[in-house]
Amino acid sequence: MKMYQVIEIYQFGYYQWIKYPNSQRKIEDRDLKQKIIVIYHNSRRTYGSPRIHQTLLRGGLAVEWVNDNILVNSVAPGWFPSKMTQQVMDEERKKKILNRMPLHRFGETKDIGAMVLFLLGKGAKYITGQDFAVDGGTLSYGY
């Protein structure tokens, strides 16, 4: 049985459809899928859809806004003391988390502030579309 028979359409229409060039939407979807795959693999297969979305958004805005002299970057904080971490972390979990960081300590809010201050300063005037992990080296360990 032929494919056009399985999906119950006319043979001529099926073969015309196969020959038809890809639509702009199909090309864009294929390109987006490729970008998602690259981001996922570059993250050592750790990024889920929210992080992939953030990466694509940051890159798109960086390209779109650069002509308006707007630079777009993001800061990705690692483990910082908070009410949330106090609620989900016992001593055993704390020890495991700290062992996953080369610095073996939690961050301080001033660490994030220092990165943001740098990105707002003259030293970052040629940086756009980037994500900066302020995580005590956690990503370097592969987490």
Q: Give pLDDT, residue 143.
A: 64
- Which pLDDT belongs to residue 14? 76
Residues in CB range of 51: below 8 A, 6 or more apart: 43
Assign 91 a pLDDT band (cuts: 50, 70, 90). very high
pLDDT digits (tens, 9 = 90+) for 1-26: 777 788 888 787 777 777 888 888 88
Categorise residue 53: left if φ over 0, alpha if ψ from -120 to 50, beta otherwise.
Answer: alpha
Quick one: average pLDDT of 137-143?
80
| Nearest residue to 133 (alpha-carbon basis) of 121, 118, 120, 115 | 115
Are the CB atoms for 109 and 78 separated by under 8 Å?
no
pTM: predicted TM-score of the whole model, two decimal places: 0.69
Q: Which residue has the tokens 């690692």?
A: 78
pLDDT above 70 (res 100) = yes
Residue-averaged pLDDT of the chain: 89
Domains and CATH numbers, the chain: 24-70 (no CATH), 73-143 (1.10.8)
pLDDT in tens, 107-123: 999 999 999 999 999 99
Q: Are 119 and 130 in contact (CB under 8 A)?
A: no
